[in-house]
Amino acid sequence: MFAMFLKLEKRRVLVVGAGAVAEGKIRGQLDAGASVQVVGPKAAWQIQKWAWEGVVDWKPRTFVPSDLDTVTLVIAATSSREVNSRVFTEAQTRKVLCNAVDDPGNCDFYYPAVVNRGDLQIAISTNGRSPALAQRLRRELEEQFGPEYEEWVAELGETREQLATKKIPLEPRKQLLHALASQDAFANRNKAHGEQLMATGTVFLVGAGPGDPELLTLKAAKVLRAADVVLHDELVGADILRLILPTVKLINVGKRCAMKSMPQEDINRLLVDYAKLGLQVVRLKGGDPFIFGRGGEELETLRQAGIQVEVIPGITAALGAAAGIQVPLTHRELSSTLILVTGSSKHSEHIANWPDRLPSNATIVVYMPGHDLGALQPRLLNAGLAPETPCAIISSATSDAEQVHITTVGHLHSSPHLSAPRLVVIGEVVRFADPNRLRQQFNEFNFSPRYAEVSPNTRESAE
């Protein structure tokens, strides 16, 4: 294979097919500045939107050979191998490069797995033999080449342009550019950048998301790479902690039920003390720091101490858990209200205060519901929820250890015990849970026949 990076700006690209697969291919072409024509009888909503906005030219019909006229390249992304093959054959007669999705025999080129850091792009190809390996290598390279490389490459480009305008002999100029692009120069740059941040004594309150390391934000990953000290929760996964450099001081300040843990006052003191040393301090929390994460208490302490604070939000557990089983937390006909509550309280061993009445059209997500879900059941019933209201108990959401149990409010007391961290999603939207994903859980928990009463329905029957 001949590897190259192709300029497609203002060049005409044809995409045959207008479904979900085609949508992903179109995005890449638009990012490259191509003029995209789409041919397909029916189009996905996003492609229709692009057509309405004039971003793409969509022709709602089947492919004809003349569509290939004046085209630089074509992507066949229909659900029919016969149509894709015909597009490839016609493209060959016109000497137009073609890619038929998931059909290596009808491809002139393959889509690589790409690490994109602005002007720095790293493309990985296995010649179509193992896209899965290419994706794994891409993930590894994304960890190695963090977001900071985008800024560095931009700086190198500006320096190169400036040197080109000066009367410097070619060989010394070449040596200087190579020295500026060296690993040592990169390390010194990051060190200087870190020292500039450290002088301010900044504390970053960072959300690590629900568990899946790929749900960590790019900004969070960037701050972690530049940290001096990281105080992390017990629930922050090992895959995320591996993003932190080995020279960083790691302190586990997590709190787990029935286990000895560091008092919040001591955590606050550590944040202030390390920041006053001029260090860049990261307080890394599972989920989002401002949703049942005690971020508000830490923010108040740091402000009182005159410490500069920046908050980097994360995907909270409710969003990650619901997305993992494909449950929409709101729905125009079923749920117009979303209530996030916690089962724990700072001033009581009992369940925290809730609204006296819960709307029937609400989705309720209970964080930290406690060991005994039987104590949760009467609170829900007394608040007006019907016993047949569906519930999803989700443990270790978005991680490899995720477990899910579907039941009803009336049967919460007999639910199996799932390990922490867990939360409970309650409401009619639970009926949308993906049955294929949940079926893997049935064998594990030996559900009783009454589960059929709340088995996930299709969208049409639920609405």
Residue 209 or 400, more confident: 209
Question: Are 337 and 282 in the same domain?
Answer: no
Question: Are 303 and 366 in the same domain?
Answer: no
Question: Are 186 and 202 in the same domain?
Answer: no
Q: 129 falls in which pLDDT band (50, 70, 90)?
A: confident
Question: Are 308 and 322 in the same domain?
Answer: no
Domain of residue 311 covers: 194-315
> Mind listing the pLDDT tens digit for each residue in 247-259?
889 999 986 555 5
In a domain, 35, yes or no: yes
Angle among Cα 336, 343, 395 to the nearest 5 degrees reads: 85
| Least confident piece of the model among 157-171, 339-353, 361-375, 396-410 | 339-353
Question: Are 152 and 167 in the same domain?
Answer: yes
Asked whether the whole model's pTM tops 0.75, one would answer no
In a domain, 103, yes or no: yes
Question: Are 288 and 310 in the same domain?
Answer: yes
- From the number of C-beta atoms within 10 Å of its C-beta (0-12, 13-18, 19+), residue 217 rates as middle
Question: Are 169 and 216 in the same domain?
Answer: no
For residue 425, give the CATH number of its domain: 3.30.950.10
Out of 263, 286, 315, a domain closes at 315
Out of 166, 191, 216, a domain closes at 191
Question: Are 98 and 63 in the same domain?
Answer: yes
Q: Which of 255, 266, 285, 400 is catalytic?
A: 255
Per-residue confidence (pLDDT) for residue 356, from 0 to 100: 80
> What value does the mean pLDDT take over residues 433-440?
68
d(CA 318, CA 353): 19
Per-residue confidence (pLDDT) for residue 259, from 0 to 100: 55
Q: Which of 212, 228, 233, 288 is catalytic?
A: 233
Question: Are 289 and 418 in the same domain?
Answer: no
> What value does the mean pLDDT take over residues 176-201?
74
Q: Taking a C-beta distance cutoff of 8 angstroms, is the pair 410, 306 a contact?
A: no
> What's the structural domain count of the chain?
4
Active site residue 167: no
In the chain, the amino acid numbered 401 is: A
Question: Are 340 and 356 in the same domain?
Answer: yes
Angle among Cα 420, 426, 432 to the nearest 5 degrees reads: 105
Active site residue 255: yes
Question: Are 283 and 236 in the same domain?
Answer: yes
Question: Are 346 and 278 in the same domain?
Answer: no
